[in-house]
Copies of this chain bind each other. A is one copy, B any other.
Amino acid sequence: MGAPPYHPELDPRVEALVTEVIGRVADKWTMIVLEALTQHAVLRFSELAKEVTGISQKMLTQTVRAMERDGLVIRTVRPVIPPHVDYRLTDLGHSLSEAFCGVWLWAEANVDRIEQARQDFDTRKIG
């Protein structure tokens, strides 16, 4: 069962900020971009778009921009011909990737249980 992971009663100001930060980073696309940049170290925008299956160009642009603003990602414009932009994680981004690691491992370990739970739920709702 484990102890509560976080104790917001300690400081309401910190609680509000933490909840806001969680709201920003606990996001499917942010996690998948973090994962891609953890594996590949440096990616151009077009390479990132290929790694993050199913994301629209607009959503990927918004996601990396928000991650840059939060200090998770460094965006570098390379003045070559043709010019290109590449992305890499900051130390802060790497530390978030490590924190999310437990969630990936959990998902990997529990895929079958979740599939089974969904089947059971759907059967109960139909039956």
Contact = CB atoms under 8 A, between A and B. Distances in A.
Contacts of A100: 5, 26, 102-103
A96 interface: yes
Given A4-B38, A18-B111, 6 more contacts: A2-B97, A14-B111, A22-B107, A71-B121, A98-B102, A102-B102
Interface string A104-117: 11111011011111
Interface stretch (A28-36, A42-50, A56-64, A76-84): A28-36
Contact of A6 (B5, B105, B120): B105
Number of this chain's copies in the assembly equals: 2
A96 B95 CA distance: 19
10 contacts: A1-B94, A2-B98, A2-B101, A5-B104, A6-B101, A14-B108, A21-B111, A22-B107, A68-B121, A71-B113
